[in-house]
């Protein structure tokens, strides 16, 4: 049986206006994860991501690097209820 999990992550630092959400989407697709990445009004990015727990662990490590121009200073993730996305969206 395939195990699935979802995380809600808040990423802080220079993460808006630097291609962070776009790069996050590409990495999620590469890892076969679904979810969304959204800019928050406080300058952070919220990521909801669902999929295989091993892929989520790799994705979580990637969030600390982010896009080429990002300057990630903090990533806080917590498990959330399983959500069903068809793909990975940016908003």
Catalytic residue, from 8, 14, 25, 39: name it.
Answer: 39
pLDDT value, residue 2: 61
Whether 25 is catalytic is no
Which domains are delineated in the chain? 7-82 (3.30.70.100)
Token readout for 10 is 């808040």
| Contacts of residue 80, Cβ cutoff 8 Å, sequence gap at least 6 | 6, 7, 8, 48
pLDDT value, residue 34: 96
Tens digits of pLDDT across the chain (91 residues): 468 899 999 999 999 999 999 999 999 999 999 999 999 999 999 999 999 999 999 999 999 999 889 999 999 999 998 888 889 998 7
Whether 39 is catalytic is yes
pLDDT value, residue 90: 87
């Amino acid at each position: 049986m395939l195990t699935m999990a979802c995380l809600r992550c808040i990423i802080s630092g220079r993460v808006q206006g630097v291609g962070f959400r776009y790069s996050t989407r590409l990495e999620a697709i590469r890892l076969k994860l679904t979810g969304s990445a959204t800019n928050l009004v406080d300058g952070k990015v919220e990521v909801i991501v669902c999929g295989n727990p091993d892929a989520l662990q790799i994705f979580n490590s990637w969030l600390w690097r982010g896009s080429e121009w990002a300057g990630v200073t903090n990533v806080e993730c917590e498990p959330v209820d399983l959500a069903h996305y068809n793909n990975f969206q940016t908003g």
